[in-house]
Structure 1
Amino acid sequence: MKVVRLLAAAAACLFAAVCAAAALDAPMTPGDFADCVQSLADQTQSSSKPLAREDFLRIAAGAKYDDRVRRALLVVKGEPTYWWDELAATTDDQRVEDGRAVLSRAAAPLQRIEAQFGVPKEIIVALYGIETNYGPAAGRIPVLDATLSLACLRPCPDPNGRCLARERAFTAVRLLRDSRVVPETFVGSWAGAFGRTQFEPDSYEQLAVDGDGDGIADIVNSEPDAWASTANHLVRRGGWIPDAPVYVEVRVPAEQQAEFMGNGETIRLADRMRKASEWAAAGWKAIGPEGAVLPLALDGDPELYPFLPVGLPGPAFLVSRNFDTIYRYNNSVRYVLEVATLANRIAGGPGIVTPWPTDDPGLSRAQIRELQAWLIAQGHTLVVADGVAGRNTRDAIEEERAKKGMPPGRRVGQRTMRELMS
């Protein structure tokens, strides 16, 4: 998840040490963190499942405040991000090739999980690829440290009411108490997500299942466990509809296009749910490979609604309830389109066919690495050729653009990369 501000309710918190941390203007002191842990111990009666105060204190005693959580909370999205940049990197040819390799080497367990849960194996593999690039690497922060730090930095207004950050910390403690996770591998993101497909502790506690038949739900070391748990999440939390596509790329009828013209804003009309046959009767057409216009006819005649990432003239889609199901896994529409597009390409589909409304499309990870290698050669020692256009890369781009007399900016696409490096 991407967190950009504290809950407004933090101003009403009841514990002085916790309230002091809420400002986020400086790291918590060891004393403040210890006081916060004690305060959380006094709130264990509000836990969704039984958790003794003594057990909480015994396990939490080994936790440490991690300031990476605070720094992540302070991230401000001051720079624009573009759909065509993110999709170009997350669904590039290498990730498609790697996803197909996973499908090939693990055909049997993936087919078994697909048959059991009704979730296409390509969706499961795509989610695996987007979350951890098909591997166990899922972060370096101990989940106990992350969740306790987050609970202290996002204090709850009511010591007895429901509170996600506090409950997530309580869940992390329960998982360790019950030996459902191993401390050495219970590591993840600053927000507490862990494992091959990035489960939050509460999601793991409720939804993790055994996928390899050994009686243990281990989403860190077992791919089948991670895949089955992911499918179970999509079914139980989202109500996955078997055989319904996540999206269909479409052409909006000319006489209706004015309604969907945008200025870059996302159009998502979930209240306009209609059967595919009704959209077809209204003149909507499917877009096939290489832009071919095809009749809109889907098996089962699923209900669909319009979704246009940036409005027309960009790509347009009709999406099913399965779009919303993936959204419940990670509440970002960009994330959903990344997963669905990658799954489409892994399955042999064309991905998104309609061009994005830009003359400077985004870069693949290989192209970003090429750019970063060039930036390093120009003397930018903080840049790492890792295929991720992070802050240091953007700082270097800004400096090199200025040297070339290019318009101010901190990104490059395919056209501007050529101009920069020429």
Structure 2
Amino acid sequence: MGAIAGLTGGLALFLLTMFPAAALADAGFQKWIRDFRSVAVANGVDGRVYDRAFANVRTPDDEVLRKARFQPEFRDEAWQYIDARVNERTIGDGRAMLRKYGRLLDGIERSTGVSKHIILAIWSMESSYGEALTKPGRLHYVPRALATLAYADQRRAKFARNQLIAALQIAQRGDVPIEGLTGSWAGAMGHTQFIPTSYKAYAVDGDGDGRRDIWNSVPDALYTAANLLRQNGWQSGQTWGYEVVLPPGRKFPGGSLSLREWERMGVVRANGKPYPRPGQKAELKVLQGRDGPAFLMVRNFFVIKRYNNADKYALGVGLLADQIAGFPPPSRDWTRPFTRLSVAQSEELQRRLKSKGFYDGDIDGKIGPMSRSAIKAFQASAGLTQDGYASLEVLEVLRRR
């Protein structure tokens, strides 16, 4: 119970900062919190831990509900999703992290069999190599976020209840104090963004200090990510998939066939090389149909999906990992309705939008909902089609004005 005894004035100050006492309580939400206490206690959560976790939580987190309605894995076009996550900055930063943490990553690869480049790509996708954890305004207090989903989002209520109990159990164990339970809108935590139940299943003490701290310890976070992939069947020394060329006009069956069978149907590697394991099963993925690159995905692709069950996510991890390792991008690019910007040009776009009063976010080259809204507002003012695309065409109009 040492973790409980240590929760004193610091916790109160933290919670009062995040949730001002002057905020009006939401009566229905407060009742939900009171009612759920007995459920948490029945599942092994100490009542004192529960009470401290919610001592200053008065209202649901509206930002959580807003983010729950927008998940880029399922809403963005494939090129839009990949462009934002696989670019010259994420590749360069990944190579810098490989130099900085080379010995650690080599050790993880040796002990788990999981590619160090895949681990770096996941770290990038999940928290921009930890950068997201340095921006408290983007983090949520996990008990409040999960209680919000359990109370107000019927589709995620069961998930949120289970995750809330697990989060409180983590704090009770002493890996992190309650005020350290920060994460995403859905309760994903730390450098490598583990939801609480996955944390409990896979968390590793990578630095040997007796705690599993994925918030503050890079070794713990990266070993934990590798452990998840290893335990879900990662095949050491093998790829996640192959870029392929499709023969024109032919339709293909769904499901999994051997690479040999795909080759017989004319689905060959884009680089002209043979498949190294022709008996291996693979599934065809064309995220933009015949207008974009095509891939045959093997087992490791589906293991990556155990981290995030979205094809775009797993493809983003695979492509970023390969390019950090020095392999070229796909030979066939995505088909976009505009000319793509570099990261530097995207920053210029944001600066020019800000100077004209359309944008109030960070100048970081990351084109998210706030940037797209600003682009639409500018396009409306200029009499342009309001598509919100961060394009060279829009940047050139901004430069002329």
Identify the TM-score tier after normalising by the shorter chain: 0.7 to 0.9
Please name the residue that 1:251 is paired with.
Answer: 245
For 2:385 and 2:153, locate their aligned partners in 1 and report how far apart those are by CA, in whole Å: 40
Please name the residue that 1:31 is paired with.
Answer: 27
Opposite residue 31 of structure 2, the aligned amino acid is D
For 2:349 and 2:217, locate their aligned partners in 1 and report how far apart those are by CA, in whole Å: 35
Pair 1:100-2:78 in alignment: no
Query: Per the alignment, do residues 228 and 150 of structure 1 end up closer, same or farther by CA in structure 2, a change over 3 Å counting?
Result: same
Pair 1:143-2:142 in alignment: yes
Q: Any conservation in 1 of the 2:359–2:371 contact (CA below 8 Å)?
A: no
Q: Secondary structure at the match of 2:388?
A: coil
Pick which of 37-46 and 101-110 moved more: 37-46
Superposed displacement of residue 55, structure 1: 4.9
Q: Secondary structure at the match of 1:177?
A: helix
Pair 1:189-2:198 in alignment: no
Q: Any conservation in 2 of the 1:248–1:318 contact (CA below 8 Å)?
A: yes
Q: How does 1:66-145 map to 2 (within 5 A)?
A: 66-75=61-70, 81-135=76-130, 137-138=132-133, 139-145=138-144
Superposed displacement of residue 348, structure 1: 0.5
> Which of these residues, 298, 301, 320, is aligned with residue 298 of structure 2?
320
Superposed displacement of residue 247, structure 1: 1.7
Query: Per the alignment, do residues 390 and 59 of structure 1 end up closer, same or farther by CA in structure 2, a change over 3 Å counting?
Result: closer
* RMSD of aligned alpha carbons: 2.8
Q: Secondary structure at the match of 2:305?
A: helix
Opposite residue 276 of structure 1, the aligned amino acid is L
Q: How does 1:355-394 map to 2 (within 5 A)?
A: 355-380=333-358, 382-394=360-372
Superposed displacement of residue 217, structure 1: 1.4
Q: Any conservation in 2 of the 1:136–1:220 contact (CA below 8 Å)?
A: no
Query: Per the alignment, do residues 104 and 384 of structure 1 end up closer, same or farther by CA in structure 2, a change over 3 Å counting?
Result: closer
For 2:334 and 2:209, locate their aligned partners in 1 and report how far apart those are by CA, in whole Å: 47
Superposed displacement of residue 285, structure 1: 1.3
Opposite residue 129 of structure 2, the aligned amino acid is Y
Q: Give ranges in structure 1 of 5+ residues lacking alignment.
A: 1-26, 261-268, 289-293
Q: Any conservation in 1 of the 2:346–2:390 contact (CA below 8 Å)?
A: no
Question: When the two structures are superposed, what TM-score results if normalisation uses the length of structure 2?
Answer: 0.84
Superposed displacement of residue 318, structure 1: 0.2
Pair 1:336-2:314 in alignment: yes
Superposed displacement of residue 75, structure 1: 4.5
> Which of these residues, 181, 202, 205, is aligned with residue 207 of structure 1?
202
Q: How does 1:50-69 map to 2 (within 5 A)?
A: 50-51=44-45, 55-57=49-51, 59-65=53-59, 66-69=61-64
For 2:270 and 2:128, locate their aligned partners in 1 and report how far apart those are by CA, in whole Å: 29
Q: How does 1:405-420 map to 2 (within 5 A)?
A: 405-420=383-398
Q: Any conservation in 1 of the 2:142–2:181 contact (CA below 8 Å)?
A: yes
Superposed displacement of residue 63, structure 1: 4.0
Question: When the two structures are superposed, what TM-score results if normalisation uses the length of structure 1?
Answer: 0.80
Please name the residue that 1:6 is paired with.
Answer: none
Q: Any conservation in 1 of the 2:40–2:165 contact (CA below 8 Å)?
A: yes
Query: Per the alignment, do residues 89 and 52 of structure 1 end up closer, same or farther by CA in structure 2, a change over 3 Å counting?
Result: closer
Q: Any conservation in 2 of the 1:38–1:57 contact (CA below 8 Å)?
A: no
Query: Per the alignment, do residues 141 and 282 of structure 1 end up closer, same or farther by CA in structure 2, a change over 3 Å counting?
Result: same
Q: Which runs of at least 4 in structure 1 moved beyond 6 Å after TM superposition? A: none
